[in-house]
Structure 1
Amino acid sequence: MSGRGGRASPALVDPRIGVAQPLQQRLLVAAILASFVSFLDGSIVTIALPAIARDVGGGVVTQQWVIDAYLLTVSALILVSGAVSDAFGRIRVLRIALLAFAATSVLCALAPTSSVLIVARLLQGVAGALLVPGALGLIIAVFSSEEEPRAIGRWTAWASVANLAGPVLGGVLVDAAGWRSVFLVALLPAAASMLLLGRTRDAARTTRASRVDVPSCILTAAGLGGLTVGLVELGSHAASDPALALVAVGALAIGVGCLAAFVVRDRRTAWPLVPPHLFRSRNFTAGNLSTFVIYAGLGLAFLVPSLFLQQVVGLKATVAALVSLPATVLTILLSGRFGALSGSFGPRRFMTIGPLIAASGAFTMTWVREPQTALWFVVPGMVLFGLGLSITVAPLTSAVLGAVPANESGIGSAVNNVVARTAGLLSTACVGWILAGPVSVPGFVRVEVAVMLLLLAGATISFLGIRDHRLAGAEGSSATRLDSHTV
């Protein structure tokens, strides 16, 4: 459309009046690239952790905080990101998030010390919390209900590509250009997304936007922060420094107290971040409990093997990344198929069998006894792990979102997203406890035992708690919507 004087006027994104197809496709690519930035960062940094620790120091504690600092702010803020987008406009918030993510990526790359890097990762998580929900909200705004599932399917596929490419690309960059380059790679898709958004702007709101409950946000952030600080520092200093151990216990107490206060606040406020009535559904409650223990296992399963293969076995970063590639490839190739089967037969059997197979992969890796023969157990273990994950992910998503009304699928997705990210945050914070020192063969075996037990717990919760219900078409669409964050 054009304005006076022949100059193009900004296009309005308003689902009530429809959006021209060329603009739809351009905004879809912009949304995909915006999400790609976040997913790529989540998968690319892990492979760079040994190089980061060698350069800026700090050992396992630094490695934990480089991951947990990002997860902390993402987990604390992702629930409110939807309300923020509704209040200030999806495209406006998405632009701000892209600029903030690019700026904090540069800050991460230039960080002279571990402390600066960790602060930069905290800030990067704030931007990351807005990127994925903002991109999804943009897709929902510009596509009709008939077109939406196909558009979200393309978005999900590219999210999987980011997860697949991240470790391998990270390994190549670390070996060729150093760890700082893994943070700069996000600048290219961020810039491309900004260009594709162009002069498009949000339509004027005709309804009152939802309020953001600020006290709930503060309590959530303080609660997760207290738990993370307490777990990381207690695992690192409990034996060597009683004073720091006491501080860590205090942080844990503050974290638990703030989260308890959040639950009370959320039940009483008119604008709850987590609507309590959602948990009246058996499948929603059991599905999120299963999500928590399974994704706690995944947090350990994708972090520690990468460190072990580089720091103990002595592999280059690129080769270490290739070892985890089969798990990601299997997830991409098979998740859709098992999602369709769960729609026909119900999710319960897949949510039970999948974690059991993944647990058998972790069990295989517990047979590692020396670095020289480690790959004989790690490679087949990762293949089994990937197969189990591919059986689990889509049915788990379907079970959770199939348990909420279609008009609440957004908040249902957000809750499950937070549960998954918080589980990864807390399990990563416990790595120091489990390793009990630097990464070693005995420590690696203990981690795989923990992964196995968590996955077995997930299978048990699913078997006892999930009830099979045939999924309607709309619920299938909602399941696709969430699939991107759980892969």
Structure 2
Amino acid sequence: MADSSVDPTNIRVASPTGRWVVLTTVLGSSMAMLDSTVINVALPRIGEDLGTGLAALQWTVNAYMLTLAGLILLGGALGDRYGRRRVFVIGVVWFAAASLLCGIAPNADVLIAARALQGVGGALLTPGSLALIQASFHPDDRARAVGLWSGLGGVGAAVGPFVGGWLVDGPGWRWVFLLNLPLAAICVPVALRHVPESRDPYEHGRFDVLGAALAALALALVTYALIEAPGSGASTAVIGAAVGGLVLGAAFVQVERRRADPMLPPSVFASRQFTAVNVVTLCVYAALGGFFFLSAIQLQVVAGYSALGAGAALLPTTVLMLLFSASSGELGRRIGPRIPLTAGPLIAAAGMLLMMRVGPGSSSVSGYLADVFPAVAVLGVGLVTLVAPLTATVLASVETERAGLASGINNAAARAAGLIAVAALPLLAGMGPEAYRDAGEFAATFRRAMPMCAGLLVLGALIAWATVRTPPAAGKEACRPECTMHCGVTSPPLEPTPDHV
């Protein structure tokens, strides 16, 4: 177990314990992040190996995001109540066990169920990774510790597509999941031995299990209706699922309004700025979720890239964010968030429209430089411009003591937006159940889908321009720039509440 002689709230980064804490949290968060960044590259091979249609591939992505989005706020609350290290370790073990089930899944149904279980583990470990750093380190060292966590996590995001593509092309797509087992085998004993336990002594009241269940079920039913509609049409099951999802969504709102300790306190939305920025988040991350899901397939099925080549082709976006997000955060603090949150989505939208040029001739070096690289580079510039100010504005829009809640809500909104986009875009673009098996059909629907993604970004830019202003807390230490680098492509970073630690 962790050394009891160590003060669990005053660890220094340069100490052996400090280095162990950083290593543990990076390993844990990397498990969830790697699966988020490499799964899209593996989808064509999964579909071919398991003989599935497009709907099963959508569920392979969405089952994970569904449980993660629905339970991530509850996961953070469990850590505060019962011990952040304990819940983090449970999440890592759970995630590894679900990854093993993914790796040995004999068919698509088992794989989808295992991915849903992975999301539960992710909801336990994802909030805990950064919360452990915030709760463990001396106040003077927290910024440096978060910077190390974010920077090392960014490196993991950068190498993820290479590792994932190599595994898919080499030993097979199952190793994308099995890779989590050795990571967990290192992470768990290190956490138990070297990471001190911490909890929030002020945490009390009941957990909002009903709210979490209603949110997850509402998302699940709406997602089912969107995914099944292309194959089943306006069937009784599809219409029933859509109506049921909307009813449960309305019930969730009513439950949260009446509970004394809701998972999603309606009072936090009294801030017009907070509400507006979360609407922008929905637009941005819906566009990104749809883009990365479809682009990885387009590059392989239509352009002829290998899985490794497709992962590497999209890498400039991640590299640009890794290199320049901190500078973007500083710029956003100086000039205010309105311009970055308006210009960033517009630039990213241009990148998505450029992606429509990708076709059968784009797999050569010259084709990549002419068609793919300009698109992903422009997209990266847009994301660099907007992601850091977006996260900073979310946290600055509420009181400091609610920063953890605000970031958790924003993270859940981003996950839910990606979930709905992956379900809805193929339907809106007219993709049939077997579209990904036919290069011509997929290319045609891809060209219809990209303007939709770009349109979401333009909508986000218009909302930002009309509603976002420099919040009173801007310029304070509401969000350090190094916090905004981690996982920015797939979701905003989680920022734990700084009080009571």
TM-score range, shorter chain: over 0.9
2:353 matches 1:350: no
Per the alignment, do residues 87 and 247 of structure 1 end up closer, same or farther by CA in structure 2, a change over 3 Å counting? Answer: same
1:97, distance to aligned residue in structure 2 (A): 0.9
2:392 matches 1:398: yes
Q: Which moved more, 1:152-161 or 1:261-270?
A: 152-161
1:208, distance to aligned residue in structure 2 (A): 4.9
1:484, distance to aligned residue in structure 2 (A): 2.6
Per the alignment, do residues 118 and 156 of structure 1 end up closer, same or farther by CA in structure 2, a change over 3 Å counting? Answer: same
Q: Please say if residues 235 and 430 of structure 1, whose CA atoms lie closer than 8 Å, have aligned partners that are also in contact.
A: no
TM-score, structure 2 normalization: 0.90
For 1:461, the aligned partner's letter is I
1:444, distance to aligned residue in structure 2 (A): 1.0
Per the alignment, do residues 314 and 188 of structure 1 end up closer, same or farther by CA in structure 2, a change over 3 Å counting? Answer: same
Give me the whole-angstrom Cα distance separating, in 2, the residues matched to 1:417 and 1:12: 35
2:48 matches 1:54: yes
2:431 matches 1:442: no
* 1:307-355 per-position Cα deviation (integer Å, ceiling 9, x unaligned): 0111122211111111101111111111111111001111110111111
- 1:329 corresponding residue in structure 2: 319
1:424 to 413, 418, 423: 418
1:473, distance to aligned residue in structure 2 (A): 3.1
Give me the whole-angstrom Cα distance separating, in 1, the residues matched to 2:200 and 2:306: 53
2:476 to 473, 477, 484: 473
For 2:361, the aligned partner's letter is Q
Q: Please say if residues 43 and 162 of structure 1, whose CA atoms lie closer than 8 Å, have aligned partners that are also in contact.
A: no
Which segments of 5 or more consecutive residues in structure 2 lack a partner in the other structure?
A: 437-441, 490-501
- 2:211 corresponding residue in structure 1: 216
- 1:70 corresponding residue in structure 2: 64
SS in 1 for 2:477: helix
Give me the whole-angstrom Cα distance separating, in 1, the residues matched to 2:125 and 2:258: 29
For 1:462, the aligned partner's letter is A
- 1:269 corresponding residue in structure 2: 259
Give me the whole-angstrom Cα distance separating, in 1, the residues matched to 2:413 and 2:198: 32
Q: Please say if residues 217 and 248 of structure 2, whose CA atoms lie closer than 8 Å, have aligned partners that are also in contact.
A: yes
Q: Which moved more, 1:376-385 or 1:297-306?
A: 376-385
2:352 matches 1:338: no
For 1:215, the aligned partner's letter is L
- 1:290 corresponding residue in structure 2: 280
- 1:11 corresponding residue in structure 2: 4
* 1:177-200 per-position Cα deviation (integer Å, ceiling 9, x unaligned): 111111111122222211221335
1:215, distance to aligned residue in structure 2 (A): 1.2
Per the alignment, do residues 365 and 202 of structure 1 end up closer, same or farther by CA in structure 2, a change over 3 Å counting? Answer: closer
Q: Please say if residues 276 and 464 of structure 2, whose CA atoms lie closer than 8 Å, have aligned partners that are also in contact.
A: yes
Give me the whole-angstrom Cα distance separating, in 2, the residues matched to 1:483 and 1:166: 15
For 1:378, the aligned partner's letter is V
Q: How many residues align?
A: 472
Matches within 5 A, 1:164-243: 164-199=158-193, 200=195, 202=197, 206-238=201-233
Matches within 5 A, 1:73-92: 73-92=67-86
Per the alignment, do residues 366 and 83 of structure 1 end up closer, same or farther by CA in structure 2, a change over 3 Å counting? Answer: same
Q: Please say if residues 98 and 190 of structure 1, whose CA atoms lie closer than 8 Å, have aligned partners that are also in contact.
A: yes
SS in 2 for 1:202: coil
Give me the whole-angstrom Cα distance separating, in 2, the residues matched to 1:163 and 1:235: 33
Give me the whole-angstrom Cα distance separating, in 1, the residues matched to 2:2 and 2:217: 44
1:460 to 462, 483, 497: 462
2:385 matches 1:382: no
Give me the whole-angstrom Cα distance separating, in 2, the residues matched to 1:210 and 1:37: 31
For 2:174, the aligned partner's letter is R
Q: Please say if residues 325 and 484 of structure 2, whose CA atoms lie closer than 8 Å, have aligned partners that are also in contact.
A: no
Per the alignment, do residues 225 and 179 of structure 1 end up closer, same or farther by CA in structure 2, a change over 3 Å counting? Answer: same
* 1:17-44 per-position Cα deviation (integer Å, ceiling 9, x unaligned): x346322221121111111111111111
1:103 to 92, 97, 100: 97
For 2:126, the aligned partner's letter is V
Give me the whole-angstrom Cα distance separating, in 2, the residues matched to 1:39 and 1:206: 30
Give me the whole-angstrom Cα distance separating, in 1, the residues matched to 2:419 and 2:176: 21
Give me the whole-angstrom Cα distance separating, in 2, the residues matched to 1:345 and 1:379: 30
RMSD over aligned Cα, in angstroms? Answer: 2.0
2:134 matches 1:131: no
Q: Please say if residues 80 and 203 of structure 2, whose CA atoms lie closer than 8 Å, have aligned partners that are also in contact.
A: no
- 2:439 corresponding residue in structure 1: none
Q: Please say if residues 81 and 130 of structure 1, whose CA atoms lie closer than 8 Å, have aligned partners that are also in contact.
A: yes
Per the alignment, do residues 293 and 204 of structure 1 end up closer, same or farther by CA in structure 2, a change over 3 Å counting? Answer: closer
* 1:66-95 per-position Cα deviation (integer Å, ceiling 9, x unaligned): 100000000010011111112221111111
State the identity %.
38
2:142 matches 1:148: yes
Give me the whole-angstrom Cα distance separating, in 2, the residues matched to 1:45 and 1:257: 32
For 2:467, the aligned partner's letter is G
Give me the whole-angstrom Cα distance separating, in 1, the residues matched to 2:236 and 2:7: 54
- 1:260 corresponding residue in structure 2: 250
For 2:215, the aligned partner's letter is T
Q: Please say if residues 417 and 486 of structure 1, whose CA atoms lie closer than 8 Å, have aligned partners that are also in contact.
A: no
1:52, distance to aligned residue in structure 2 (A): 0.3
Q: Please say if residues 397 and 483 of structure 1, whose CA atoms lie closer than 8 Å, have aligned partners that are also in contact.
A: no
